[in-house]
Amino acid sequence: MGKVWVLGAGQLGAMMRHAAMPLSIEVQPVDFNQSQEVVLAEEDVVTAEIELWPETPATQTLAAHPNFANKAVFPRLADRYTQKQLLDELNIATAPWQLVCEKTESESLFSALGDTVLLKRRTGGYDGRGQFWLKQAEATAVPEGWHNEAIAEKKIPFDEEVSIVGVRDREGNMFFYPLTLNLHVNGILMASIAPLERLGKLQKEAEGMLRKLLSSLDYVGVMAMECFRVGDHLMVNELAPRVHNSGHWTQAGTSISQFEYHVRAVAGLPLANAVVKGQSVMINLIGVARDNRWIGVDAAELYWYGKEVREGRKVGHINLTQPSLSALNSALGKLKPMFPEPYPQVFEWVEKNLP
């Protein structure tokens, strides 16, 4: 079996490599700026841990390989304009939107989308970066440099944020994990909970939407769909053509993690149905210094990315899975005092949302 090359050398590629080890599949992440020549074999496959990358000798070599999975999907989903067009074409509910053109003024956006409008840069935004709120009451104008470079979205008064991660193989077989409940603070994911019985009634709708996307794109691998829950229905916020932060809980909470699924799919291996074990919680580590007391807590599984700690930067995550809620709550209770602000509120959100 050939190697699986990953475009990008961040934590997602590293976790794919880790997940593929028991299967003895070699996963090789590649830094965009790697100077060492990338030499691929005919039977190798290429995937990516990110949807947009700079043109460099390394990325050009990888992207030119005939076995680059979902090659045409990346540019289509990396641009919010074409991503939103795809959702509309497939009749998948999403926040009402408009392209911010050369001449678009905020007044026309207010009359089309309401008195509070979210501008999102078409490409490159993540963790809430590349967003700008326009408020009619404050007569906010479209900032300089955002014309032609952004879409405008209606503000959705959602009840909560959920996501679904699914995988499709080359033959069209698919598997979907249960919906995950997510807490975002200032546009950045802080914690996830899965599975949740109360979200079960939305599972069919979520799977239907993602199934339609995966099939229509003839997609191979893992895709994540972030949604807003508005009453009893879902509205797609955005899509990620890759493994996703809100699927990290599957490393501890299921028999086949999203990382292993992605490797299986792109390598042409059988998928099978992952078994969900117990109750899982994932706590994202954002701009916090490593604290080894964390791994002294039963069930706490730390993934530390080895990056320099900076404010607002994702530097790791902790997964917790327990068969009983009381054991999970006890672990969370021990972790909570080990964290600085604003984590007490994150733990409170988790406690409040666990069954």
Instruction: List contacts with ligand ATP (CB under 6 A).
Output: 95, 118, 120, 125-129, 153, 155-156, 161, 184, 187, 226, 237-238
Which of Mg ion, ligand ATP, none sits in contact with 304, Cβ below 5 to 8 A by type? none
Q: Work out whether strand 314-322 and strand 279-286 pair parallel, antiparallel, or are unpaired.
A: antiparallel
Q: Per CB under 5 A, which of residues 187..226 are in contact with Mg ion? A: 226
Residues forming beta bridges with residue 337, ordered by sequence position: none
State in angstroms the smallest separation of the CB of 245 from ligand ATP.
7
Torsion-angle region of 113 (φ positive above 0: left; ψ -120 to 50: alpha; else: beta): alpha
Q: What are phi and psi of 225, to 5 degrees?
A: -125, 115
What are the tokens at 268?
């042409």
Q: How far apart are CA 123 and CA 233, in angstroms?
A: 27
User: Which residue lies nearer to Mg ion by CB, 224 or 252?
Assistant: 224
C-beta of residue 110 within 8 angstroms of C-beta of residue 134: yes
What single letter denotes the amino acid at residue 16?
M
State in angstroms the smallest separation of the CB of 343 from ligand ATP.
18
State in angstroms the smallest separation of the CB of 76 from Mg ion.
14
User: Which residue lies nearer to Mg ion by CB, 207 or 226?
Assistant: 226
User: Which residue lies nearer to ligand ATP by CB, 45 or 113?
Assistant: 113
Which of Mg ion, ligand ATP, none sits in contact with 301, Cβ below 5 to 8 A by type? none
User: Which residue lies nearer to ligand ATP by CB, 32 or 126?
Assistant: 126
User: Which residue lies nearer to ligand ATP by CB, 131 or 330?
Assistant: 131
State in angstroms the smallest separation of the CB of 126 from Mg ion.
5
What are the tokens at 116?
């509070």
State in angstroms the smallest separation of the CB of 128 from Mg ion.
8
Q: How far apart are CA 194 and CA 253, in angstroms?
A: 8
User: Which residue lies nearer to ligand ATP by CB, 127 or 291?
Assistant: 127
Give the residue from 123, 18, 22, 12 showing the smallest Cα distance to 30.
Answer: 12
- SS3 (DSSP) at 258: helix
State in angstroms the smallest separation of the CB of 81 from Mg ion.
14
Number of separate helices (H) and strands (E) present in the chain: 10, 16
Which of Mg ion, ligand ATP, none sits in contact with 184, Cβ below 5 to 8 A by type? ligand ATP
Which of Mg ion, ligand ATP, none sits in contact with 153, Cβ below 5 to 8 A by type? ligand ATP
- SS3 (DSSP) at 201: helix
Interface residue list for Mg ion (CB under 5 A): 226, 238
